[in-house]
């Protein structure tokens, strides 16, 4: 079918792919959870960027802005990969809240080093989740998603390194 009526059950578009339906569903679900976590991490990073204070303000402020920009750059490619797999992506802040595993931080004040420590731990959790989705990709022979994840894992590990080194005495 090549016309515009490519709808299938559940409203998902019937995206042509040679990946099986189970593989597409597993990877798309994993990527949607990563998308929610990435949104949550982005918002937390911007929150900390806006509220950081102290003797290293300028350095931390710039570091957090750089990291937020890198995290933001992951959002669209993650969502588009879900769509290429025929899945539906998140639709709202509420949907993000249901799927996210990275916890929000609504505290009125957080010490600067505590901010960096929390972001480091969140990035480590994100890497762990990305590796889990990568394992699904390997099992299901989804090379395209796996290659995206490999780059994002490397970028997250760099963020972890910078956050770690910034908090050493």
Domain limits, the chain:
20-167
Handedness of CA 30, 35, 38, 44 (dihedral sign): negative
Between CA 35 and CA 129 the distance in angstroms is 11
Is 80 exceeded by the pLDDT of residue 2?
no
Is 60 exceeded by the pLDDT of residue 10?
no
Is 80 exceeded by the pLDDT of residue 1?
no
Q: Which residue has the tokens 């991490």?
A: 41
- What would the mean pLDDT of 127-144 be, rounded to a whole number? 96
- What would the mean pLDDT of 10-22 be, rounded to a whole number? 68
Q: Which residue has the tokens 């950081």?
A: 52
Between CA 48 and CA 109 the distance in angstroms is 10
Question: Per residue in 73-86, pLDDT tens?
Answer: 999 999 999 999 98
Task: Give which of 131, 107, 118, 110 is closest to 159, Cα–Cα.
Answer: 118
Question: Per residue in 148-167, pLDDT tens?
Answer: 999 999 999 999 999 999 99
Between CA 133 and CA 146 the distance in angstroms is 8
Superfamily of domain 20-167: Ferritin, core subunit, four-helix bundle (1.20.1260.10)
Is 90 exceeded by the pLDDT of residue 18?
no
What mean pLDDT is reported for the chain? 91
**Percent of the chain topping pLDDT 90:** 82
Is 80 exceeded by the pLDDT of residue 100?
yes
Question: To 5 degrees, how large is the angle CA 99–CA 150–CA 62?
Answer: 75
- pTM here is 0.90
Higher pLDDT, 51 or 2: 51
Give the pLDDT confidence score for residue 14 in this predicted structure.
Answer: 66
Task: Give which of 118, 107, 113 is closest to 56, Cα–Cα.
Answer: 113
Are 145 and 133 in contact, with CB atoms under 8 Å apart? yes
- How many C-beta neighbours within 10 Å does residue 129 have? 19
């Amino acid at each position: 079918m090549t016309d515009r009526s490519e709808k299938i059950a559940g409203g998902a578009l019937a995206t042509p792919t040679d990946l099986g339906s189970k593989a597409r569903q597993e990877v798309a679900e994993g990527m949607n959870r990563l998308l929610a976590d990435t949104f949550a991490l982005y918002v937390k990073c911007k929150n900390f960027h806006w509220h950081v204070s102290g003797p290293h303000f300028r350095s931390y402020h710039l570091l957090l802005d750089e990291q937020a920009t890198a995290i933001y750059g992951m959002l669209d490619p993650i969502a588009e990969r879900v769509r290429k797999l025929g899945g539906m992506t998140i639709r709202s802040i509420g949907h993000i809240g249901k799927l996210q595993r990275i916890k929000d931080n609504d505290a009125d004040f957080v010490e600067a080093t505590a901010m960096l420590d929390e972001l480091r731990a969140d990035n480590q959790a994100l890497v762990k989740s990305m590796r889990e989705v990568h394992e699904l990709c390997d099992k299901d022979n989804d090379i395209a998603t796996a290659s995206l994840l490999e780059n994002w894992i490397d970028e997250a590990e760099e963020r972890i390194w910078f956050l770690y080194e910034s908090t050493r005495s």
